[in-house]
Structure 1
Amino acid sequence: MIGLGELVNSEGEFGVDDYRACLAAKHANLERAIQEEWERPAPDQISLTALKRRRLKVKDEIVRLRTGKAIGRRLAAPA
């Protein structure tokens, strides 16, 4: 997974493209976790629901960035 340290520039900021790449990696990791849970003999439905909700939030953020609603905003790294 991409770490925040790899995305932050010398001014402590990162761009929308870097943020989008980080979100895509996070989405892929959640997808794998969901698949692994499904492959268990007795998948935990509560865990699956939580993972799916997290995946949906990430997907919504990716779509929000694609539609341009974040254009003009600077994304600062968390302190």
Structure 2
Amino acid sequence: MLQSLITLSDQDIELVITAVQQWCTRNHRDIDSNEGHRALTLAIDLVQNSARDTLLHNMTERLGPRAGQMDAETSGAS
């Protein structure tokens, strides 16, 4: 994941970090959680595939606002 960040421009790195922080804040997730790591990986992938203008929107569509809650439900945790 971090190796992928190295290939991005400084502007793209800033865009990724900002979008992930916003997604985590909106969804009450810690950036160091599994969901935060998944959001970071997705954001890097989206930026590498030229989805810069709609990054946060695309992340929300793909991860969903309840991603962490669904993970907890499928693992048997509440």
TM range, smaller chain: 0.3 to 0.5
Task: Tell me the TM-score normalised to structure 1 length.
Answer: 0.32
TM-score relative to the length of structure 2? 0.33
Higher strand share: 1
Bigger helix share: 2
